[in-house]
Structure 1
Amino acid sequence: MKFLRSIAVFGLLACSLVPSFAQEAVIRKNLSEKFPAFAKIDEVSKTPMNGLYEVRVGFDLFYTDEQGNYLLQGNLMDVRARRNLTEERISKLSEVDFDKLPLADAFRIVRGDGKRKLAVFEDPNCGYCKHFERDLSTVNNVTVYLFLYPVLGPDSIAKSRNIWCAKDKPKAWNDWMLRNTAPANAECDIAALKRNREFGQKYNITGTPTLIFANGSRAPGAISAEEVEKMLVAKTP
Structure 2
Amino acid sequence: MKRLSFLIVVAAAIMLISGCSQAGRSAADPDVQKMIDRYPDLAGKPYTIEQVERIIDGDTFATAEGHKVRLIGVNTPEVKGESKELGLKASAYAANLLKGKQVVLFPDTGDTDKYGRLLRYVFIEQETTMFNERLLTDGYASVMTIQPNVTYADYFVALERQARAAGTGLWGNPDESEPEEKATAADKESKEGTKSAPTCQDPQIKGNIRGSSKIYHMPGGQSYEQTKAEQMFCTEDEAAAAGFRKAAR
TM-score normalized by the length of structure 1: 0.27
Higher helix share goes to which structure? 1
Q: Does 1 or 2 have the higher relative contact order (CA < 8 Å, sep 6+)?
A: 1
Per the normalisation by structure 2, the TM-score is 0.26
